[in-house]
Amino acid sequence: MICAHVAAVKNSSIATASSRADKRYSDRMIPQPEDKFMRRCFELALLGQNQTGKNPKVGAVLVYDNTIIGEGYHKKFGGPHAEIEALASVRPAERHLIPLSTLYVSLEPCLHFGKTPPCTERIIAEGIKKVVVGCSDPNPLVSGKGIQYLRQNGADVFENHLQNEARYLIRPFCANLNGLPYIVLKWAASKDGYIGKQREQIWLTNNYSKMLVHKWRTESDGILVGKNTLLTDIPRLTVRDVPGINPVRIVADRQLRTISFLNEHYPGQHWLILNQVRDGNFGPLQLIRYHNDENLEAGLRLLFDHGIHTLLVEGGNELLNSMINAGLWHEARVFSTAHILTEGIKAPQLEGKLHQQRQIGIDKLHVILNPSLHYD
Ligand SMILES: NC(=O)c1ccc[n+]([C@@H]2O[C@H](COP(=O)([O-])OP(=O)(O)OC[C@H]3O[C@@H](n4cnc5c(N)ncnc54)[C@H](OP(=O)(O)O)[C@@H]3O)[C@@H](O)[C@H]2O)c1
């Protein structure tokens, strides 16, 4: 289910026979690559946030004599890849430096014809002899073959440079390769470990945390809530505190009991209802039926097929726990707040790898990664 991204190759620069034979470059094999150039690739890649669809976010820079002469990133799904953008950005007066430059790219260059021609061929055609790669591509169509092609065609390749950070960048892509959305669980807990009270809406986080959640919504294709959360909180689940596009709202409602409630409280508004009763449309409501009683995996795969490549799950406890128990999550973002509720609905318990801890006003945000994923 989860991307098994294997770091199989040693972290070393390997000169092929053909590159050694090239006298011009034999004394210019890649020295220890500079972190700052790969980190620039990561910064660039992030500019593609929300634009690359189920493609990975990738950044690339061309470095000549310790200076960046070209840089680019994958700007949108179906558009040119980062390497091609970096080449295109080189000024005409500096194009002759391209074969003498080192290409840094956060993800292994592609070898296959997808929506664009293979980047590996273009790199070789440009005469580039040195390539530094952040991580290999988990896509079986590429997966080491791009690096192999570059080496076979005379380039020195230094691979797995800052590979954990490079892999972290493509974690939604890894999830998508497995036919699942990238699943982010999110909840807020009181100081005494509750997420809410039965049939009563309680606001736990501060306004800064709320803004952050709105930002996360802009980065998600869909937001999923359990049926009880919908009925109790009647949440808007829209983006209001930051600019951005509203994700698709989805409710997990096995017995299809929320149709009239949604029509009454969200008149004319589009929702997906993940259910086990039927498919079809009911005005603006789209019913998506899945067939597995035990867990939501089949439903989540259908959501992926409906274009939900990143999913924010905003509670409540029952839904979150069932997803946690089924291992159906990639990342959790948990706010610990100062409120004391004394009683109510217990917050989910989660075992994971603490990736980040941040103070957001008086709230504390914990970002936890699924331990079966290997980013760091
Ligand atoms: N603090 C926070 O961050 C936060 C966030 C959200 C909600 N809340 C609070 O949480 C409370 C609601 O939580 P809750 O635990 O009672 O309910 P919930 O998780 O919101 O909804 C549970 C219901 O969702 C349906 N469901 C569909 N598929 C499911 C699946 N695979 N696993 C589990 N449930 C599934 C089930 O109803 P069917 O069997 O009928 O389908 C189930 O009874 C509210 O009080 C709300 O205010 C707090």
83 is annotated as an active-site residue:
yes
Instruction: Give me Rg for the CA atoms of the chain.
Output: 23
Nearest CA to ligand 1 atom 39: 254
Among 327, 3, 351, 372, residue whose Cα is nearest residue 172: 3
149-179 residue pLDDT tens: 999 999 999 999 999 999 999 999 999 999 9
- Cβ-count burial 283-299 (b if 16+ within 10 Å, e if not): eebbbbbbeeeeebbeb
CA 322 to centroid of ligand 1, rounded, Å: 10
Atom of ligand 1 nearest to the CA of 225: 20
Out of 34, 71, 83, 264, which one is annotated catalytic? Answer: 83
Residues facing 333 on adjacent strands: 186, 367
pLDDT tens digits, one per residue of 235-283: 999 999 999 999 999 999 999 999 999 999 999 999 999 999 999 999 9
329 CA from centroid of ligand 1 (Å) = 16
Query: Is the minimum distance from the CB of 163 to ligand 1 under 6 angstroms?
Result: no
In DSSP terms, 184 is beta-bridged to 312, 331
What string of DSSP letters covers 43-73? Answer: HHHHTTTTTSTTSPP-EEEEEETTEEEEEEE
Q: Report pLDDT for 29.
A: 58
Q: Is the pTM of this model over 0.85?
A: yes
Q: Tell me, using a 6 A CB cutoff, whether residue 318 lines ligand 1.
A: yes
258 lines ligand 1 (CB under 6 A): no
| Ligand 1 probe mutation, 223, 227, 314, 328, most atoms within 8 A of CB | 227
Which atom from ligand 1 is nearest to the alpha carbon of 194?
Answer: 1
Q: What is the pLDDT of residues 82-98, one digit of tens each?
A: 999 999 999 999 999 99
For ligand 1, the distance from its centroid to the CA atom of residue 251, given in whole angstroms, is 9
Q: Greater confidence, 269 or 141?
A: 269
Residues 271, 252: Cα–Cα separation, whole Å: 11
Cβ 324 under 6 angstroms from ligand 1: no
- Band (pLDDT 50/70/90 cuts) for residue 374 is low
Supply the pLDDT for residue 357.
97
Quick one: which atom of ligand 1 is closest to the CA of 326?
31
Pocket of ligand 1 contains residue 228 by CB under 6 Å: yes
Whether the per-residue pLDDT at 22 is higher than 60: the answer is no
What is the Cα–Cα distance from 311 to 250, expressed in whole angstroms?
10
Query: Phi and psi of 156, rounded to 5°?
Result: -85, 130
CA of 32 to the centre of ligand 1 (A): 51
Q: Is the CB of 229 under 6 A from ligand 1?
A: yes
Q: Whose CA is nearest to atom 7 of ligand 1?
A: 316
Mean of all residue pLDDT scores within the chain: 89
Smallest CA separation from ligand 1 atom 46, residue: 229
Ligand 1, atom 8, lies closest to the CA of 316
Range 320-334 average pLDDT:
96
Backbone angles phi, psi at 335, to 5 degrees: -95, 125
What percentage of the chain carries pLDDT values higher than 70? 91
Q: From CA 48, how far away is CA 73, in angstroms rounded?
A: 7
> For ligand 1, is residue 204 a contact (CB within 6 Å)?
yes
Confidence of residue 30 (pLDDT cuts 50, 70, 90): low
Instruction: State the pLDDT confidence band at 50, using cuts at 50, 70 and 90.
Output: confident
Dist CA 292 CA 298 (whole Å): 6
pLDDT at 284 over 50: yes
Kindly state the DSSP code that residue 33 receives in the 8-state scheme.
Answer: P
Identify which has the larger pLDDT, 236 or 25: 236
